[in-house]
Amino acid sequence: MDIKAWFREKAPTDVLKRMNSLFESVIARVPIFSSLRTKLIVPYALLTLVVAMVGVFIITRLVSGSFEERFGNQLVEASRVTADGIVRMEKKHLEDLRLLTFMEGVSDAIDDRDRESLQATFEGIAINNNIEMIAAINDQGMGIITLTYDAEAGGTEFFTGDDYSSFGWVQSVLTGQYDEVGDKFAGLMDTQMGKFIFTIAPVRDADEKIVGALLIGSKIDTLLDELKLQALADILILNPEGSLVTTTLAEPEVGYGILEIDGESLRDAGLTSLNREMELYGRDYEVLYTPLMIRDAEAGFIGVVTSSEYIATALTTNRNTFSIIFTLGTGAVIVLGYLLAQHVARPILHLRSMSQAVAGGDLDRSSGLVRTDEIGELANAFDIMTLRLRERTEEAARLYKEAIQRAKELEEMNARLQATQAQLIQSEKLASVGQLTAGIVHDVKNPLAVIKGLAEELSEEGDLDEFTVEGLETIRDSASKANTIVTDLLKFARQSTPEMQTRDMRATLESVFRLTEYLVRKGNVTLVPDLPLTSVMATYDPQQIEQVLINLVTNAVQAMPDGGTLDVSLKEHDDNLVITMRDSGVGIPEENVVRIFDPFFTTKPEGEGTGLGLSVSYGIVSRHRGRIEVESEVGIGTTFIVSLPLQADSLDEQLM
């Protein structure tokens, strides 16, 4: 409803006349505002400008995000190419080591310290296979001969007498140690010939005795130059502490220290990669650090460095381009809107179309006409009529919707009330038994301790006959068994508040399987787990829930005296996780199903159960704001369903 129509309906007569007079006076003094053309084109132009500005902003943000994502992918791909290059180098080292180790005469030459024979063998292999460093080491860790090969110069050099015994990996190889991969070791090494990535392997004689070791290395600088060409990025190598070993970058003005990281902190934080932004040579760069893995062991860190300067340039260029496009498009749309406004139908035709729309059931239409003549009055009357029809229709729809909603709410409230009533009855029953048990358990436990103690004291007497000793052992064992039952009763009476933690329910179930593995196997039961492939995180007390699950598995095994199958599944449903345990045992009679959670109720033979296991489990699940349900059919089996909320933020408030 427009302002004039509202005042005409609601305001007092004198106020209405004054406002109407003021309204018409303003229009008379500024004729342009009464023009239908202006009323159409001005909002249209403003809306077009707003949409254009929003469009420029959104598209610029999308382009920015696309560039940043593309740059991040490029950085990750460069890191992957670098890692693949190191893996290829490691494989080549292993192939060359196998060739040398199994070459005839090499082990004998190392055992005999035959430098001339080793020199002749190493020189040919190094040139043919492009090996930059080969070292033969005796069983004392001393270098017999070391060869270095420069492919560009085409020459080789030999060194003797190098001491490798101080390197831990040399001693590991010579003493025959193994790691997760095998008896070979690899890492970074700084020598008088330069910095190398090496792989070392033991050399054995015909009797499999270690007589020395062979070491093959590649210059780090040569490797980084190759990787830089492949990855299209600069590469840097850091030691396990995060200090720089070497890099393809020229030294920054502030020194190489800006490229180093705290390796220990990175490992303690459990991070597998680190992305840093920094300024080098007056430009912006990004560095991606990842572990340097050699033979599946961390030998330091490798960094991939790429300039991010082009991102800012590309964003500026695209922003300017889209701004120009949207400016031109906005101007064209505004001009088009102005031309369309020239051809707007007369008010009478507009009212006719409005009347046809209302007759067709469209009550949301409004004439939008504000005039001072008879046509304006007709338009106002039409708008008031449409408004009242719309209000009555909306009121009827609202009342109908509310009635449907109230019915659903009543149905849900009734269901919750029934569930709450059943849980309250069970909780009151458990509380009553808990109070009774707590009151008598100490009075029973103390005499049992006295009986057990006296029996043990008497059994230590040296002049007892065999019958008396057996009697005392029976008294002591019976007292211990009674004490165990009383302890279970005390645990039942002192059921504690759960200590909530965010844990992986899948891992908890796997722990339960391990703890009950012997029981399941002894009972000739086949356990069939159906667990998700990924973790299922939830908030619960892992110790108490593990107690519940072990109790359910134990009951299931005992329900299958001749063996059978126990299916265990874990799934998420809405905001809950659901654990289902289905056995193929004897089943529970229908009259006992409603009583299995009652304290001291048991169907086991006398002396084999206290009837508290399921009662305690019910209490634990209830305090987790969960549910435990049972379905059973005699001769077919029993299914227990435990439902727990994934989150339990308000648990403390509910327990209070």
Instruction: Report, as an integer, the average pLDDT of 442-446.
Output: 62
Confidence of residue 386 (pLDDT cuts 50, 70, 90): confident
Q: Is the pLDDT of residue 30 over 60?
A: no
Confidence of residue 214 (pLDDT cuts 50, 70, 90): very high
Instruction: Report, as an integer, the average pLDDT of 471-475.
Output: 78
Q: Which residue has the higher pLDDT, 38 or 272?
A: 272
**Residue 589 CA to chain centroid, in angstroms?**
44
Question: 358: helix, coil or strand?
Answer: helix
pLDDT for res 375: 66
Neighbours of 57 (CB within 10 A): 13
Report the side by side order of strands in the sheet with 185-191: 155-159, 143-150, 133-138, 210-219, 194-204, 185-191
Q: Which residues contact 347 (CB under 8 A, 6 or more apart)?
A: 36, 369, 371, 375, 379
Read off the tokens for 1.
């409803």
Strand residue runs (E) in 338-383: none
Q: Is the pLDDT of residue 32 over 90?
A: no
% pLDDT > 70, the chain:
71
Q: Which residue has the tokens 């949301």?
A: 364
Which residues on adjacent β-strands are paired with residue 473? Answer: none
Neighbours of 232 (CB within 10 A): 12
Mean pLDDT over each residue of the chain, to the nearest integer: 77
pLDDT for res 650: 46
Amino acid, single-letter form, for residue 357: A
Q: Which residues contact 418 (CB under 8 A, 6 or more apart)?
A: none
Instruction: Report, as an integer, the average pLDDT of 26-32.
Output: 53
pLDDT for res 572: 92
Q: Is the pLDDT of residue 5 over 70?
A: no
Q: Which residue has the higher pLDDT, 5 or 75?
A: 75
Taking only the tens place, the pLDDT of each residue in 269-310 is 676 778 788 888 878 888 888 888 877 778 788 888 887 765
pLDDT for res 31: 53
Taking only the tens place, the pLDDT of each residue in 181-195 is 788 888 888 777 778
Pairwise CA distance, residues 289 & 260, whole Å: 10
- This prediction has a pTM of 0.39
Instruction: Report, as an integer, the average pLDDT of 408-428.
Output: 70
Instruction: Report, as an integer, the average pLDDT of 369-385.
Output: 72
Pairwise CA distance, residues 341 & 44, whole Å: 10
Across 26-40, 135-149, 355-369, 461-475, least confident range: 26-40
Domains, in order of start, for the chain: 103-223 (3.30.450.20), 233-307 (3.30.450.20), 499-655 (3.30.565.10)
Confidence of residue 172 (pLDDT cuts 50, 70, 90): confident
The sign of the CA dihedral 646, 650, 652, 656 is negative
DSSP letters, 409-422, are: HHHHHHHHHHHHHH
pLDDT for res 507: 93
Taking only the tens place, the pLDDT of each residue in 496-507 is 677 889 999 999
Q: Which residues contact 71 (CB under 8 A, 6 or more apart)?
A: 286, 306, 308, 311
Pairwise CA distance, residues 550 & 509, whole Å: 9
